[in-house]
Structure 1
Amino acid sequence: MQVSFACQHCERKIEVVFSGEPVSVVCCPDCRKTFTVMRPTIAEEILIDWENEALFQKIRADQTQTNNSSLTALVIQVVELLTWRDKGDGQVEAIRAMREWLLENESVSSIAELIHVADKRRRFRK
């Protein structure tokens, strides 16, 4: 890519050729002033950046939708387990379902770690 501009001091036309680097340092042949020139952004580069950003946002939205669906299914399962008419097994099963979901989704790593620690303590006491 070739770029040209007029020297700010002597008005001489200066040409810069960019091969791959984004920045180039040039010196005016007449007045010896030094300039740092950045390669102009091409419309295709901007388009690629926008496409990458759009793809990232789509992946993020899909992941959020998946997480929301998974959480909704968990809430329904827990409500069903808590409304069982039994001797309290539904509460135990609801807690197990919550633990499993937290461990599988690792949504909050500190909670998952606490569950692991609590399980180890229970096994140790038995």
Structure 2
Amino acid sequence: MQVSFTCQYCQQKIEVKFKAEPISVVCCDNCNKTFTVMRPTIAEEILIDWENEALFQKIRAEKSQNSNSSLLALVIRVIELLTWRDKGNGQVEAIKEMRGWLIDNEEAPPLAELIQSDVNKRSSKRRDWEK
């Protein structure tokens, strides 16, 4: 790729040939001033990077909004379960609902595995509620 420009000090035409390097330093033959020149495709590559970053941030914001909506729905469901006048298992159902939500929405697998193993341990211990 070849780029040419006029020296801003002496108006001499300067030509730069790029090979694989993205930046070149050239010296004006007439006045010996030094210039650093970027290969034009660099600007296009930066634009593509910015577009990719913008898309990533948009997806991240949408995911955050979906998570917030899901969390709000969980809070409402837990409040409903805790305020029911039923057989007295509203708290247990609320805890189950919260655990299920954490397993479905948690991005850190170890937490989901820990909660799941805790559920398995508790279900293996039978409690006799009727005594």
TM-score range, shorter chain: 0.5 to 0.7
How far apart, in 2, do the equivalents of 1:124 and 1:113 lie? 17
Provide the residue aligned with 1:116 in structure 2: 116
Structure 1 residue 121 displacement after superposition: 1.8
Provide the residue aligned with 1:99 in structure 2: 99
Instruction: Confirm whether residue 79 of structure 1 aligns to residue 79 of structure 2.
Output: yes
Gaps of 5+ in 1: 5-13, 25-36
**1:47-86 maps to which residues of 2 (within 5 A)?**
47-86=47-86
Aligned-pair RMSD on alpha carbons? 3.6
CA shift digits 1:71-109 (9 cap, x unpaired): 000000000000001232211111111011011112443
Contact 1:102 1:108 in 2 (8 A): no
CA shift digits 1:16-61 (9 cap, x unpaired): 543555478xxxxxxxxxxxx9746543223222211111111110
User: For residue 60 of structure 2, what is the amino acid of its counterpart?
Assistant: R
Contact 2:22 2:42 in 1 (8 A): no
- Over the matched positions of the two proteins, sequence identity in percent amounts to 69
User: For residue 53 of structure 1, what is the amino acid of its counterpart?
Assistant: E
Contact 1:103 1:112 in 2 (8 A): yes
**TM-score, with length taken from structure 1:** 0.67
**TM-score, with length taken from structure 2:** 0.64
